[in-house]
Structure 1
């Protein structure tokens, strides 16, 4: 019987089930490590400048190695690439545990290990993104990607909370230990993956992969929609300012802002059965991205804390729906020979958009105010998404294959 609840049929496929468990463990450990690294950096420096610099130490290696990982994913067995990237991250996780246990921590060492951990993610994530479409029947790919999105939202909610509790009871060692354990699980689950060679098996990525990004109006428009939403309306950097201006700087409110975004995304994931049955995927992404912009603008206008949290729940739900549908659309609209490189571009869009959006928000707020940056950015994002919808008929009318 079909319901609006999340479709669990992909978990009946052993290889996808193993990939999903491994990906969930991997994401959980990465979120936990974020808390441990932040805490250890603060303990070492007592400087917000250094904790802020962690974003650079993470983003730059990802942006540099992501395209390399994408090209490799189109040239070699993707199972082998995932194993090697995960093994690298396991070695780094054990090094993080060791430096914390021995009391040998230095900022340069810590940042170097963080950069290596991010580099491992950049090499492996493009190949991981291709797993649902390679392991599942085409009709179940949307549900498989929805399950992946749910595991990400759960990791965002539970990973930092678990790490924070363990660190409070012990030290950052506990957070790094959690990272090592979950990364080991992610590596072991690759035993159940089949060999995943690319078509042709020449050992070189087929020509035309990067050019496909520009040639395909569907993929190009999907990425443009996501960039418009995040570059113009990403609100997280402005949370502390809004909290200080309107709610007295209460740290509980600041934490609630972040939880509200994740909660909205989780709700969409849990009820994604109906969403993934909508075949007009391009229209769904455009509507969701437009709703995200309006919800961010609403957050900027909200006078009460409950109104602000409600807008953020809507924003989180819209963002999750947009990202989920984009993942399905991009994977199914891309030939397998190009999926690694297109997936790496999707990873870069997912990293660069929010980071640059935070920078844009901070600059505009410094010149005007936090509410102006939020409202103006949210409305601008919705307008640009509407322009993409009008101009890109291929994206607007893109239809997924029928489900079984």
Structure 2
């Protein structure tokens, strides 16, 4: 069992252990705000259109400050930058608490605060990822990234459940206050870090030119470029989450406003990622990381094919009958398998990015990574929604999975250096 379960060796490193432990607390707190903001907007306006604006107000700063934040992380001492951005996250959560405590009903104030919070997050995340190779040896990076993603995905499940239970009891203001207090754990962990200056920093101001240089760095490093390309393929063509409301209602006879089927579908991928993280002991033993990424994404694509086929069969069954229930179990199982494969793929891709890039560009490449991770699923929402309107949800989901497998295989053939990429372990 020890060889199967998560590799916890990174936790023996005190700096990483403090950051990871603090993250357990702050991830749940962050999810409280993620749930509370749209819930408060809907409570104030009664309009899903206003709630939908959180997508725009969240994505734009995530893209802009994700790229610029990476440039900042390659210019300033990364510990200092983590202190500033963590303080900013605490400050915005406190302002969320204050406006709710004062009974404000200004939706634009809420959206503005949400944008500022996402901007601090977009700078904080590339910086956190860029410091890992300074705290851990390369051979422990896959295990460390698996541990981090397991916590994040577990928080994505637990946070909404806790928030949903607490909002009617405590109200919005207390959820925001809890988020602010939880972030103090991360501040404590960051304060304990040593100075983390950037090795080989250019010294140029972190402006547009610096961002462009970071993007240009990929042209001469096909392994790194491929790590982004395969993620874009997997997320854009293989993420069917925009179809979940329609599938829950039409294929499984769930209520149009949500319900248990809707919740199960949304929980499937993060649940799979958590299970994949718990049983991620194998990732530390894999040297052929390029091959591992390709196979993980192929499994993700095949899982989405299986999900689409299960939906197609359910469309021809009685939505409330026993056959439909079995097909629902199969559909959720496919999402769980896909989530586990995606977790492993992300752990390997992040590790390749951290180990292969020069320290002077790690922040900018992690910024690009944040943009790809945030933007890919949103493009998928548009693509799957439009496709489903023409050919139905089952074909859209299964067809997307087929494209993932075909395009990933084609990319591996076109850029064989990625397929051959191996982790170089130090001689013993």
Please indicate, yes or no, whether the TM-score normalized by the shorter chain is above 0.5: yes
Q: 1:150-178 CA deviation, whole Å, 9 max, x = no partner?
A: 11111112111122221121211232122
Aligned with residue 345 of structure 1, among 368, 373, 395: 368
Following TM superposition, by how much is the alpha carbon of 1:202 offset from its aligned partner in structure 2, in angstroms? 5.8
Aligned with residue 291 of structure 2, among 265, 274, 283: 283
Which consecutive unaligned segments of at least 5 residues does structure 2 have?
315-326
Following TM superposition, by how much is the alpha carbon of 1:203 offset from its aligned partner in structure 2, in angstroms? 4.2
Q: 1:105-146 CA deviation, whole Å, 9 max, x = no partner?
A: 311000000000000011111111112211012222221111
- What is residue 387 of structure 2 aligned with on the other side? 364
Q: CA contact under 8 A between 1:32 and 1:163: conserved in structure 2?
A: yes
The 1-side partners of 2:304 and 2:175 are apart by 32
- What is residue 403 of structure 2 aligned with on the other side? 380
The 1-side partners of 2:273 and 2:386 are apart by 27
- What is residue 236 of structure 2 aligned with on the other side? 231
Alignment RMSD = 1.7
What SS is found at the alignment partner of 2:285? Answer: coil
Instruction: Using the TM superposition, name which of 67-76 and 130-139 deviates more.
Output: 130-139
The 1-side partners of 2:138 and 2:225 are apart by 22
Q: CA contact under 8 A between 1:35 and 1:175: conserved in structure 2?
A: no
Structure 1 length-normalised TM: 0.96
- What is residue 331 of structure 1 aligned with on the other side? 354
- What is residue 324 of structure 2 aligned with on the other side? none
Q: CA contact under 8 A between 1:18 and 1:189: conserved in structure 2?
A: yes
* 1:400 equivalenced with 2:408 (yes/no): no
- What is residue 216 of structure 1 aligned with on the other side? 221
- What is residue 354 of structure 1 aligned with on the other side? 377
The 1-side partners of 2:174 and 2:166 are apart by 6
Instruction: Using the TM superposition, name which of 49-58 and 201-210 deviates more.
Output: 201-210
- What is residue 137 of structure 2 aligned with on the other side? 137
Mapping 1:259-338, distance limit 5 Å: 259-302=267-310, 303=314, 304-338=327-361
- What is residue 40 of structure 1 aligned with on the other side? 40
Following TM superposition, by how much is the alpha carbon of 1:2 offset from its aligned partner in structure 2, in angstroms? 6.0
The 2-side partners of 1:162 and 1:2 are apart by 31
The 1-side partners of 2:268 and 2:138 are apart by 33
The 2-side partners of 1:377 and 1:105 are apart by 41
Structure 2 length-normalised TM: 0.91
Instruction: Using the TM superposition, name which of 135-144 and 218-227 deviates more.
Output: 135-144
Mapping 1:173-188, distance limit 5 Å: 173-188=173-188
What SS is found at the alignment partner of 1:5? Answer: coil
Q: CA contact under 8 A between 2:146 and 2:343: conserved in structure 1?
A: no
- What is residue 161 of structure 1 aligned with on the other side? 161
What SS is found at the alignment partner of 1:168? Answer: helix
Matched pairs, number:
404
What SS is found at the alignment partner of 1:197? Answer: coil
Q: CA contact under 8 A between 1:126 and 1:347: conserved in structure 2?
A: yes
- What is residue 322 of structure 2 aligned with on the other side? none
Q: CA contact under 8 A between 1:72 and 1:340: conserved in structure 2?
A: yes
Distance 1:201 1:64, change over 3 A: closer
Q: 1:17-44 CA deviation, whole Å, 9 max, x = no partner?
A: 1222233333322222111012101101
- What is residue 97 of structure 2 aligned with on the other side? 97
Instruction: Using the TM superposition, name which of 367-376 and 200-209 deviates more.
Output: 200-209
Q: CA contact under 8 A between 1:66 and 1:347: conserved in structure 2?
A: yes
Instruction: Using the TM superposition, name which of 187-196 and 345-354 deviates more.
Output: 187-196
Which consecutive unaligned segments of at least 5 residues does structure 1 have?
none
